[in-house]
Each structure stands twice: as structure tokens, then as C-alpha cells.
Chains A and B, each alone.
Chain A
Amino acid sequence: MSGSARPAVRAVFRIGPWVPGSLLPVAVGLVGVAASLLVLQDVLALVGAALSVAAAVRVRSAVPWLLVALLAVGQLLRDPTGLDASLPALVLALHVLVVLVLLARSVPVRSRLQLAALGPAALTTGLVQVPAQVVAAALLVVGGRLQILPVASTIGGSLLVLLAGLLIVPRRADREA
């Protein structure tokens, strides 16, 4: 039968600022590729990128956990004396990747995701990252890779800004919704 030209009626709820639900798996893929390029080298980087794409497509399978394991193995294979500023970035990327995977498993791809709904997850991520980043910076300082005062002030300032943003933005979006 030919389709009707009449547009379908849809229940559209007003939810304020939103993003498509498909953004979460896409973000999983992007963060996965970025982390792979940051940590893995040569063939492993390609494997990591491929796993990132697979994790984005099959986010509810075990592929995302394989990617996390691969990134950890990649860090293990790196020279421990060659620690640099990529360590805090990797700590952040791996954590964000895991949070995004858990969210993407719950949110349907074809949905509208209210920005304010990401508030609790973002807040928890921020709170966990504060001590993690401090420990990462401490490791770098102990290894003589960074000067303690500039690092501490930079990380502290960044985390304060991040924390303030995490506390304010979701609430404002929720109020506007």
C-alpha cells in the first residue's frame, strides 16, 4: 500500500535544552579514539580506534569494556619513566568513556535527551575526577615531570571552574525546562 501524505502526529513534550540520544554513542566513539591515539601506538592505536567505533555502534555489548581494558594495557606498555601530561588526560578520558558507556546503555538512540538529565552523572564525574586529577598531578610531580606550584594552581583552578560549571549549568537548564 502506498504511504499516506498526511504527517504523523507525535507527542512532543517541552523539555528545555536537549541533545539527540545518539550523541552519547558518538561521544563514546570520539572519546575512545582520542584516548587510543593518546595512549596506544602503532598497530594498537588502529585496534583501539576500531574498537572505539565498534563500541559506539554496539554500546550495549562487551566491546566498550574491551576498549577500556586495551587502554589500560596500553598504559602498562608505556615506559614508566616517560610519564607526561597525557596521564591526567588519560585518567579523565577513561573515566568519561566509562560514564558515557553506562549512560549510552540506558538512553535510546532515537530519543531527545534533556541536558539537565545529565546533571547527576556530570556532578558525580566531577567529584570523582577532583581527587583523581590531584593524584595524577602528584605522580607527575614526584616523577619530576612537573613543577608543583604551577601544576597545583592550574589543576586546582581548572577543577574549581569545572565543579562550578557542573553545579550551575544542570540546575539552570532544569529551571529553564
Chain B
Amino acid sequence: MSTPTAQRWHRRGGGAALGMLALVILGVGLGFGRADVALLGLPLAATAAVALRRPVGGASAAITLTAEDDAIVAEVRIDGATGTELVVVQAAAYEEPPTTVVVSPRRAAALTARLPLLHGGPQEVLRVGGQVVAAGGDLVQHLDPRIARTTIAPARERMTSLLLPHRLTNRPGGHAARRLGDGLDFRDLAPFTPGDRLRRIDWRATARSPRPESELIVRRMDATAEAAAVVVLDSRDDVGSVVVEWGSNRPARKGVSSLDLARPAVVAIAATYLDAGDRVAFHDLMSAGAGTRSGGGRRKLEQIRAVVNRTVPRAGASFRAPVLPTAAVVYLVSTFLDEDVAALAVLWRSAGHRVVAVDVLPEPSLDGADEAHRLAHRVLQLERDDRLDRLRRVGVTVVAWRDADRDLLLRQAERYRGRR
């Protein structure tokens, strides 16, 4: 808990006004010899005297967030000042207007709220402010506002199909290559040549061979090779499913957002390739530094997860295309609301890469949209559909991540050889 910056008590002035009023009533009552009037001033004077008490110390707020499966539990603790009578707590969840509760100091030391888990990635969950009240409501100390942020990691998903690049790398890996090597897939039988391993000699084939007895026959196998996959994320915008919120982008109202779909997509793609022993690189189109170099293994997956977790929308950032390794399968994760990302996919496809366009635009909801919104959305959708059709025509595999059949589409693309 950090120390608040403004631990000062302020008087509202009510106590002083009440004290003066009580003295006047008492004076008038005694002056006129009216005990009943003076009696009216007694409780008021006592209440004004209570308002003279000064509390000790400064109050401060602290917030602790705990992420659960589908919720975030926020624990708010306000304490520190002795003599506090009321605590006014204003709490705003997900940048929404605040709600206010007035509680006893004892209750304020342990307030708990359960908030829905709306989005992944870094986000502001709760903002808490308020004031502590003492001396019968006459003394007030404002609390320093506290903002609680957290980062929600994407769910651990896997794809069931693996789209390989047109050409594998020369490094040994988990896929059968077309060259000779030490893999498990049988290729053919051939005469023994210097350099062949003795354990490769097929004695039965040698015995059956009509060739001279001195010539040995070896079993030759296909080599194994790894694939190179590159996942490229377009983090320019983070549009939600509620179309009327595209302008304001309020976290609590925009619905499932494109980055909510993109983060698990990136991690699932990377995890599937890394599980198969391949190499994966990750690049953020909008941030040249936010990426990971090509690599394999569990640590690479954790590295990618960490980078993707931190990804935030960068609307004004400059667009920077990464340099791709030769013969890589490229997953371009984007909403495809802009032309230049689609142009990049076409460029990579024409350079010989196998390109998969992962569409992460959420299912649009037009609730509350007026006629102008509907028309603008229709125009955008038509442009986007044209863009995606053009990608399909040049051989880019287009998969909508929200589509339940996305793995089926990838399996179909896996079988499709097409032009290279």
C-alpha cells in the first residue's frame, strides 16, 4: 500500500454554524427567562461539541485483485484514521460511472466486490476514491484515488490441424521431408555406400538380392524437418462486437473485442506448432519491439504468451512489416478493416509464403444502432468482404477465428496444395 499524498482533514462548516446557533438559542432562552427555549439549545450544543473532536491520522485505500475463472474478485481496504465515523467509497468498474456506498470504518476495512471478467490482456478493472467522515459529519478527509489494473492471460487453446509451409527447413524436426535422412519413414532399398550406418543394413534384403554377395543392401529413410511459422498480429485497433461502441470503445459496453479473440488465437497457433517441434516467431505489426525471434520449445511459448498478454491497441502507431524467414507459413491475425494489412498478405503470398489470414473481427451486434450506424457498418462490411475475397483469390487461406469450423477450414487448406 502506498502512502496517500493528501492526508488533510477539512471542515465543512456545519459544526461551527450549529455551535453558534446553539449558543444563540441558549442565550435567548436564558435572556428571556425561558427554560424551555434554552433546553432546545442544549442537545444542539452537545452535538456541536461532538463536532469539535479531531480524528487522528490519515486514511488510505488499497485494492487487491484476484482473477478467477469467469470473474475478478476485488478486495478494497480503507483504513488508517482513528476516530472516523463514516467512510464514503466511490468505486468505478471498467471505466464506468462510479457507485457509492457509505459504510462503517469496520466494514470499510474489508469490502469485497465480484466483477465479471470482460476482456483479456492489460486492463483497468477498478478505480476507488471517496472520503472518510468524522466529528458528526463535519470533518472530511479525501482519499487518494486508487486504480487497480490487471493482466488477464489468454485461455490455453490448441488447433487440431497444422498447416505446413510449402518447404520445410533443413533442421531436423517433426515432419517428414523429401530428402534422405534418419527419420522413421521408409524410403527405399539401395546398395551400401561409404558413409551409410551399419545398423541400416537390411540383412534379409541383402540375402535375397541377386547382386554379388559382397554388395550389401541398406534401408534408406526420409529425413525429418521442422517447419517455420510466423504469427503476425495487427494490434492497430481493438473493436468490440457492439458496433455503436466502435467510437467510444468503453470496456464494459463494447462486448467481446478483436484483441480478445486475437490473443488466444496467437497463443493457440504458436502452441500447436511448438508442440509439433517447429519454430515460431511472433511479430506485432504496430510495435517493432514487441515480438519474439524465431525459436522452439516450451520457453518460446511462454515468451510469446508474455508478449501477447502485454499487447494493447496502438491506433496511432506506425505500421512496420517484419522480415520473414524463407519458406515460412505466415499467420496474419487482424480484423482486416484496413487495406494495408490485406496488401501485406498479398505481398507475402506473392513472395511464396503460405499465408493464413486469421480474421478476428467479432460477430457484430447492431443493438442500439441508428440508421447512420447501420449504413456505415454495411459499407465497412462490404469493403471488408471484398478484401477477404481478394485474398482468397490469390491463394491466402482465410479463417474466421470466431468460426466453430475454423479447424475444419485449416484441415481443408492443409490438403489443398494449389499453386506455390
The B contact surface, by secondary structure, is mixed
Q: Which of A52-91 contact B (CB under 8 A)?
A: 62, 65, 68-69, 71-72, 75-76, 80, 83, 87, 90-91
> Is B99 in contact with A76, judged by CB distance below 8 angstroms?
no
> Is B252 in contact with A111, judged by CB distance below 8 angstroms?
no
Residues of B near A124 (CB, < 8 A) are 47, 50, 136
Q: Which of A75-132 contact B (CB under 8 A)?
A: 75-76, 80, 83, 87, 90-91, 94-95, 98-99, 101-103, 105-108, 110-114, 116-117, 119-121, 124-125, 128-129, 131-132
> Is A107 in contact with B367, judged by CB distance below 8 angstroms?
no
The closest CB in chain A to the CB of B251 belongs to A9
Residues of A near B46 (CB, < 8 A) are 128, 132
- Does residue B383 face the partner (Cβ distance < 8 Å to A)? no
Stretch at the interface among A10-18, A25-33, A41-49, A151-159: A10-18
Give Cα A111–Cα B252 distance, bound, in whole angstroms: 21
Known: A4-B367, A80-B34, A121-B85. A139 touches B103 (CB 8 A): no
- Given A12-B114, A15-B103, A174-B107, 16 more A-B residue pairs with CB atoms under 8 Å apart are A3-B244, A4-B368, A8-B96, A8-B253, A9-B94, A72-B41, A75-B40, A76-B32, A87-B39, A91-B43, A99-B136, A106-B133, A107-B88, A112-B99, A114-B101, A174-B106
Interface pairs (22), CB distance under 8 Å: A3-B244, A4-B253, A11-B91, A11-B98, A11-B99, A11-B115, A13-B76, A14-B113, A15-B103, A18-B101, A71-B40, A76-B37, A80-B34, A91-B43, A98-B44, A99-B136, A102-B15, A106-B140, A112-B101, A131-B42, A132-B39, A132-B42
- Does residue A34 face the partner (Cβ distance < 8 Å to B)? no
> Is A116 in contact with B47, judged by CB distance below 8 angstroms?
no
> Is B39 in contact with A91, judged by CB distance below 8 angstroms?
yes
Known: A65-B17, A135-B39. A1 touches B244 (CB 8 A): yes
> Is A117 in contact with B14, judged by CB distance below 8 angstroms?
no
* A9: contacting residue among B116, B133, B242, CB under 8 A: B116
Residues of B near A75 (CB, < 8 A) are 34, 36-37, 40
Known: A95-B47, A128-B46. A87 touches B17 (CB 8 A): no
- Does residue B179 face the partner (Cβ distance < 8 Å to A)? no
> Is B126 in contact with A11, judged by CB distance below 8 angstroms?
yes
Chain A proximity of B15: nearest CB distance (Å)? 8
Give Cα A14–Cα B75 distance, bound, in whole angstroms: 11
- Does residue B326 face the partner (Cβ distance < 8 Å to A)? no
* A15: contacting residue among B44, B101, B115, B140, CB under 8 A: B101
Residues of A near B165 (CB, < 8 A) are none
The closest CB in chain A to the CB of B42 belongs to A132
A-B CB pair tally, cutoff 8 Å: 202
- Does residue A38 face the partner (Cβ distance < 8 Å to B)? no
What 8 A-B pairs are tightest by C-beta distance, nearest first?
A: A95-B43, A111-B100, A102-B137, A11-B91, A106-B137, A5-B367, A9-B252, A11-B93
- Does residue B245 face the partner (Cβ distance < 8 Å to A)? yes
The contact string, 1 if C-beta is below 8 Å from chain A, for chain B 216-240, is 0000000000000000000000000
> Is B47 in contact with A114, judged by CB distance below 8 angstroms?
no
Number of interface residues of B (CB under 8 A): 73
Chain A proximity of B337: nearest CB distance (Å)? 19
> Is B113 in contact with A11, judged by CB distance below 8 angstroms?
yes
Residues of B near A108 (CB, < 8 A) are 88, 100, 102
> Is A139 in contact with B47, judged by CB distance below 8 angstroms?
no
> Is A76 in contact with B28, judged by CB distance below 8 angstroms?
yes
The closest CB in chain A to the CB of B114 belongs to A12
> Is B44 in contact with A21, judged by CB distance below 8 angstroms?
no
> Is B103 in contact with A10, judged by CB distance below 8 angstroms?
no
> Is B43 in contact with A98, judged by CB distance below 8 angstroms?
yes
- Does residue A172 face the partner (Cβ distance < 8 Å to B)? no
> Is B253 in contact with A2, judged by CB distance below 8 angstroms?
no
The contact string, 1 if C-beta is below 8 Å from chain A, for chain B 69-89, is 000001010000000011111
Residues of A near B101 (CB, < 8 A) are 13, 15, 18, 111-114
Residues of B near A90 (CB, < 8 A) are 40
The closest CB in chain A to the CB of B138 belongs to A102
Give Cα A21–Cα B88 distance, bound, in whole angstroms: 11
Number of interface residues of A (CB under 8 A): 63
Residues of B near A105 (CB, < 8 A) are 12, 14, 137
> Is B373 in contact with A2, judged by CB distance below 8 angstroms?
yes
> Is B44 in contact with A136, judged by CB distance below 8 angstroms?
no
> Is A107 in contact with B14, judged by CB distance below 8 angstroms?
no
- Does residue A169 face the partner (Cβ distance < 8 Å to B)? no
The contact string, 1 if C-beta is below 8 Å from chain A, for chain B 104-140, is 1011000111111010000000100000010011101
- Does residue B195 face the partner (Cβ distance < 8 Å to A)? no
> Is A65 in contact with B18, judged by CB distance below 8 angstroms?
yes
Residues of B near A139 (CB, < 8 A) are 35-36, 39
The closest CB in chain B to the CB of A66 belongs to B21
Residues of A near B14 (CB, < 8 A) are 101-102, 105
Give Cα A136–Cα B367 distance, bound, in whole angstroms: 65
- Does residue B97 face the partner (Cβ distance < 8 Å to A)? yes
Give Cα A101–Cα B96 distance, bound, in whole angstroms: 30
Chain A proximity of B232: nearest CB distance (Å)? 31
Give Cα A157–Cα B91 distance, bound, in whole angstroms: 44
Give Cα A25–Cα B36 distance, bound, in whole angstroms: 27
Known: A9-B116, A11-B113. A136 touches B39 (CB 8 A): yes
- Does residue A177 face the partner (Cβ distance < 8 Å to B)? yes
